[in-house]
Structure 1
Amino acid sequence: MTGTGTAAHTDWQRWQADWDRQQEWYLPDREERFRAMLDAVEALVGPEPKVLDLACGTGSISDRLLRRFPKATATGIDLDPALLTIARGHFADDPRAEFVRADLRDARWTDALPHRAYDAVLTSTALHWLRSDELRTLYGRIAGVVRQGGVFANADHMPDDTTPRINEAVNAFHRARREREKAEGRQDWADWWKAAAADPALAEPTAERFRIFGNPAEGDHADGETQPVAWHVASLRAAGFAEARTVWASAADAMVLALR
């Protein structure tokens, strides 16, 4: 078992910052999408929301939420034991945040939540790990935990296959940028997980994570699917949301916002 002394002296804020930096290598507009997400939350449910951070990872959304809205509260839910370890360490002294572990593919994942309903459910760059039928089912369950008048926001890969030349040009541009930054020493996904596995405070939960999802150095367990914005909008309305539309987009990603 990982010693409590080791965990107590781990710099969880550094791990959180390193995660953010690694993610920004793939998503240079990551902060912009978070800003747009929280703008939508404030516009529709106000500055004191009770939020479910879905597939929360290290708690990146919760971190930005609580800095922007001091009277907000956040519940993070994820299956990944390593990322949850970092989240719990990062927020250890903040009573506004709590974290639970559950598999969103499990029909009973909502049983793990400490609250029956939330003002907002937020997620970013996570649900593309699910297949389309799994995501439709999940959207229905999310509708069940968003209060009437509450919102759900999903920012993720939502490709538009009707613009192949634009897509290829943008993809080539970002590949070249990543190659330059990688040559300068930036961590990618596999590098970050290698560092986590080598840290005494994270070695055990990282090993468990590899058993669940696979080792990034050998190829992740990523058998999900990506769908265009229109698919998400239609699926959310079918799940019981009154309204749904795009509220932010980049060349490759988009954010859909749904009102219960």
Structure 2
Amino acid sequence: MTDADATTATTGADWQAWQESWDRQQEWYMPDREERFRIMLDMVEALVGPAPRVLDLACGTGSITARLLARFPEATSTGVDLDPALLAIAEGTFAGDERVSLVTADLKDPAWASGLPYDSYDAVLTATALHWLHAEPLAALYGRVAELVRDGGVFLNADHMIDDTTPRINAAERERRHAQMAAAKRDGALDWSEWWQLAAKDPVLAEPTARRFALYGEHAEGDTPPVAWHARVLREKGFGEARPVWCSPSDTLLLALK
């Protein structure tokens, strides 16, 4: 029996399969997803070294944490999220790994950081998650993140940061991206709704998936302010420098240095 078989037999779920399924679903929306993760970890290594203490903010299934530990085996990670289904996958994936701790918390709650195991972190990392927040709670979250990042530490956020001053560029990019997504869909790619329909039918994930939809509905709606807004607010909240270090036609990876 392989390790994966043993995990499935013990828990009733193949957590690696769910991780891979989540990755494929996310890549349908973001084909360059792995590239943003690579650059994110490049910058972590450049600024805080190869054994960082990391806060994986809005961690979901632990996509960032998995790549962090594969590249930097001496790193440690605290994942924080509110989604019970995605956290169940993370918990199953990292069970028994003392480098990883997972915390359930609502990032809109001013006291969300009270359950973290550490008072400070070398790096706070997040991807494709904070656009679920509106601008005011996001600015408040940035203030708390600035308190958690040590001097010389970093915050990296890869997300949709929309520039409304370029409507024709935005429309052309969106049309091309959606054409590519439609082609992938015809080849069998799962979208967001279809992935969650599968999770709802899984014997282990059905209950946390039901709780997830009770919390969020189909999809939380937040804001996608431009890069300049993020950089300005992060500086106002206590970071010394902030600028993009990578971008695709639709997304940006912004780095803030304490």
Q: TM-score, normalised by structure 1?
A: 0.94
Q: Does the Cα contact within 8 Å between 1:6 and 1:200 map onto a contact in 2?
A: no
Instruction: Give the equivalent residue in structure 2 for 1:172.
Output: 175
**Could you tell which deviates more after superposition, 162-171 or 62-71?**
162-171
Q: Aligned-pair distance for 1:6?
A: 7.2
Instruction: Give the equivalent residue in structure 2 for 1:162.
Output: 165
1:128 aligns with 2:131: yes
Instruction: Give the distance between the partners of 2:8 and 2:143, measured in 1 at CA.
Output: 42
Q: Does the Cα contact within 8 Å between 1:6 and 1:201 map onto a contact in 2?
A: no
Instruction: Give the equivalent residue in structure 2 for 1:149.
Output: 152
Q: Secondary structure at the match of 2:136?
A: helix
1:92 aligns with 2:95: yes
Counterpart selection for 1:106 from 93, 105, 109:
109
Which whole-Å deviations, capped at 9, do the CAs of 1:12-40 have from their partners, x for residues lacking one? 00000100000000001100100110011
**Could you tell which deviates more after superposition, 231-240 or 163-172?**
163-172
Instruction: Give the equivalent residue in structure 2 for 1:8.
Output: 11
Counterpart selection for 1:27 from 25, 30, 39:
30
Partner amino acid for 2:198?
A
Instruction: Give the distance between the partners of 2:250 and 2:181, measured in 1 at CA.
Output: 15
Q: Aligned-pair distance for 1:134?
A: 0.6
Instruction: Give the equivalent residue in structure 2 for 1:184.
Output: 187
Which whole-Å deviations, capped at 9, do the CAs of 1:189-216 have from their partners, x for residues lacking one? 00000000100010111110010001x3
Structure 1 residue ranges (4+ consecutive) displaced by more than 3 angstroms after TM superposition: 4-7
Q: Which runs of 5+ in 2 are unaligned?
A: 1-6
Q: How many residues align?
A: 252
Instruction: Give the equivalent residue in structure 2 for 1:197.
Output: 200
Instruction: Give the equivalent residue in structure 2 for 1:49.
Output: 52
Instruction: Give the distance between the partners of 2:194 and 2:253, measured in 1 at CA.
Output: 28
1:232 aligns with 2:235: no
Q: Does the Cα contact within 8 Å between 2:8 and 2:15 map onto a contact in 1?
A: no
1:61 aligns with 2:64: yes
Partner amino acid for 2:161?
M
**Could you tell which deviates more after superposition, 48-57 or 161-170?**
161-170
Instruction: Give the distance between the partners of 2:169 and 2:10, measured in 1 at CA.
Output: 47
Instruction: Give the distance between the partners of 2:154 and 2:51, measured in 1 at CA.
Output: 14
Instruction: Give the equivalent residue in structure 2 for 1:213.
Output: 216
Partner amino acid for 1:167?
N
Partner amino acid for 2:192?
W
Instruction: Give the distance between the partners of 2:67 and 2:257, measured in 1 at CA.
Output: 21
Q: Does the Cα contact within 8 Å between 1:58 and 1:84 map onto a contact in 2?
A: yes
Partner amino acid for 1:252?
S
Q: Aligned-pair distance for 1:164?
A: 2.1
Identity fraction in percent: 62
Instruction: Give the distance between the partners of 1:183 and 1:138, measured in 2 at CA.
Output: 39
Partner amino acid for 2:226?
P
Partner amino acid for 1:254?
T
Partner amino acid for 1:153?
L
Q: TM-score, normalised by structure 2?
A: 0.95
Q: CA RMSD in A?
A: 1.3
Q: Aligned-pair distance for 1:224?
A: 0.5
Partner amino acid for 1:139?
Y
Q: Secondary structure at the match of 1:57?
A: coil
Q: Does the Cα contact within 8 Å between 1:118 and 1:146 map onto a contact in 2?
A: yes
Q: Aligned-pair distance for 1:93?
A: 3.2
